[in-house]
Structure 1
Amino acid sequence: MAAKLRKGDKVIVLAGKDKGVTGEIKSVDPKSGKAVVDGVNMAIRHEKQSQNSQGGRTPKAMPIQLSNLAIVDANGKPSRVGFRMDGDNKVRFAKSTGDAI
């Protein structure tokens, strides 16, 4: 099945501690049904100092469930994603406005 949310999509968080926050998807793992969104679900990771890095406590974006994300349409509102055929091409579209993504 084709993924409804993909890398580079602008999404809004629907549930959880970061509800209402928007960000861009950095990576998607369809097998586990999770995505990493820039600036969402941040956790502190402790890095050991090395020749290449200073080390210390660094914030890192952790994966969030795809069901808690919705794509942002042209109006800036959350929308569900649908598929339709545009000629010979399968196109994703925002269900709230009908515009192609």
Structure 2
Amino acid sequence: MIKKGLKVKILAGKDKAKEGEVIEIDRSNNRAKVKDLNMIKKHVKTTKEKKGGIFSKENFIHISNLKLVNEKKKIKKTEAKK
């Protein structure tokens, strides 16, 4: 099960084969946000409180396109080689 804070690998899309940490999950739509991956440009209009402009932010990725990365297995494999 994919949870917030776990490390995942992207299986499909423009960021295929990249790894990152899950920062947010939308359970109702089966989607997750991964830190610094699947970036989009957001155009924001200027208001009295905030300055406008073009901002980059993470977009949601469907959970079926994510795979958990188990760091414990990697460590055990390297120890076995020694």
TM-score range, shorter chain: 0.7 to 0.9
Q: What is the number of equivalent residue pairs in this alignment? A: 73
CA distance in 2, matches of 1:53, 1:60: 17
Greater percentage in helix: 2
Amino acid at match of 2:62: Q
After superposition, residues 1-101 of structure 1 pair within 5 angstroms as 4-74=1-71, 75=74
Relative contact order higher in (CA < 8 Å, ≥ 6 apart): 2
SS in 2 for 1:18: coil
Q: Which of structure 1's runs of 4+ aligned residues deviate more than 6 A?
A: none
Cα shift at 1:53: 3.1
Other-structure match for 1:92:
none
Q: 1:9-35, CA deviations, whole angstroms, 9 ceiling, x for partnerless residues? A: 111101111101111111111221100
Structure 2 residues not aligned, in runs of 5+: 76-82
SS in 2 for 1:67: helix
Structure 1 residues not aligned, in runs of 5+: 77-101
Identity, % of aligned pairs? 37
- Please report the TM-score for the alignment, with normalisation by the length of structure 1: 0.65
